[in-house]
Amino acid sequence: MVQNYTVWVEKKAYPVVVSDEREALLAAKAAGRAFVGLIHLEEHGGGSQKEERTEKSQTSELRRTENQPVEKTAEGKTANDIWDAEYLATPDAICPEYLERIVRRHISLPWIIAETDRLLIREFTPEDIGAMPKEPDAWFTQEEREADQVFYDEEKLKAYIKSQYRFYEYGIWALVRKTDGRIIGKAGLSNAKEREAVRANVPEEELELGYHVFQPYRRQGYAEEACRAILDYAKNELDCPVCACVAGENTASVRLLRKLKVTYFTVCNM
C-alpha cells in the first residue's frame, strides 16, 4: 500500500509518502521526500500482550521508535532493515498533526508541542541563542544549573536538539508568547531516572516536569498554562506518568504542583 500526502508547513506544501512497501520508501528517499514506514502490529511481534494495550499506547510506542532499534521479525530482520525507514507508524497514527511533525523533522523545523491561549510551546532552535536572558533560577540545584547551560551554548544546543528531541520526542521546550514572539521561559519533560535524588523512587517510564518562567513574566499564570499543556502531551502523546522535583522552600511551585495534582519530591537546591 502506498499513500501520498501533501502537507502544508508554514505556507509551503511538502509531499509525504506513507507505505508498507520497501520500494516505494526507497524511491521517496532517493527523491528527497519525507516518508513513513507503515507497520501492522499483528504482523510484527503482535501477541496477546500487545492486543491488550490501548490504541493510544500502541501509537505512542511506535512514535518513539524514531531512530531507535525495533524488535526483530521472525526472519531476524528489523523493520528498519525491511523499509530503511527512520519513522514507523501504525495506520491509525497517520493524521495531519503527525505528518506535519514528520515534515518538520525532514526540513529541520522545530516541532510545535502545544498551543494555549497565550503560548506556543515548541522545540528550541539554534537561532534562539541570545533571545533569552541568562537567568539562573534561585531554586535550581547544582545539577539543574549545569544542565541549563545547554540553552546558552550553540554547539551544546545543536547536540541537544539532535539527540534529545529526535530520539525521545520530549525535552525542555521554549515558551513563546504569541502576541510578540518573545521567549518568556522554558518548560518540558526529562527522564526522572536521571535525577539521583529520586532515582530509586520512580518507575522506569516516569518523566519529570520542569519549568522556568523568566522574571519579567512571572505572576501572570504562564507557568500553570504551560504545565497543563505539557501534562496533556505526556498523557496523550507519550502515555507516560509524570512527577516533579521541587525545593521545599519554593512555596509557589509547591502550590502549583498541588493544583496540577502532580506527585512531587522535595530536593535540596544547594
User: Half-sphere exposure (CA, 13 Å, Cβ side) for 248?
Assistant: 3
Q: For residue 49, what pLDDT is reported? A: 39
| Cα(167)–Cα(247) distance, integer angstroms | 30
pLDDT of residue 81: 52
- Model confidence pLDDT, tens digit, residues 120-168: 999 999 999 989 887 766 556 666 777 788 999 999 999 999 999 988 9
**Nearest-CA neighbor of 170 among 37, 26, 66?**
66
**Of the candidates 99, 109, 118, the residue with the CA atom closest to the CA atom of residue 10:** 109
Q: Cα separation of 244 and 254, whole Å?
A: 10
Predicted local confidence at residue 139, as pLDDT: 55
SS (H, E, C) 89-153: ECHHHCCHHHHHHHHHHHCCCCCEEEECCCEEEECCCHHHCCCCCCCCCCCCCHHHHHHHHHHHC
Average pLDDT, the chain: 83
pLDDT at 5: 97
Strands 263-267, 242-247: pairing kind: parallel
5-14, 75-84, 183-192, 195-204: which range is least confident on average?
75-84
Looking at residue 102, what is its pLDDT? 95
- Is the pLDDT confidence value at 234 over 50? yes
The helix or strand, by DSSP H or E, that contains position 174, with its residue range, turns out to be strand 172-177
Residue 192: per-residue pLDDT: 86
pTM: 0.80
Q: Is the pLDDT of residue 7 over 60?
A: yes
The DSSP string of 37-95 is EE--GGGTT--HHHHTS-HHHHHHHHHTTTTS---B-TTS-BHHHHH--S-EE-GGG--
Q: Residue 21 in 3-state DSSP? A: coil
Structural domains in the chain, sorted by start:
2-106 (no CATH), 112-267 (3.40.630.30)
pLDDT in tens, 36-59: 998 887 654 544 433 333 344 334
Q: What is the mean pLDDT of residues 212-232?
A: 96
pLDDT at residue 107 in the model: 95
At 60-119, the pLDDT tens digits run 433 444 444 444 443 444 555 555 678 888 999 899 999 999 999 999 999 999 999 999
SS3 category, 208 = strand
* pLDDT reading at 228 higher than 70: yes
Residue 214 clears pLDDT 90, i.e. is over it = yes
Query: What interhelical angle do 222-233 and 251-260 show, nearest 10?
Result: 40
Nearest Cα residue to 194 out of 186, 185, 204: 204
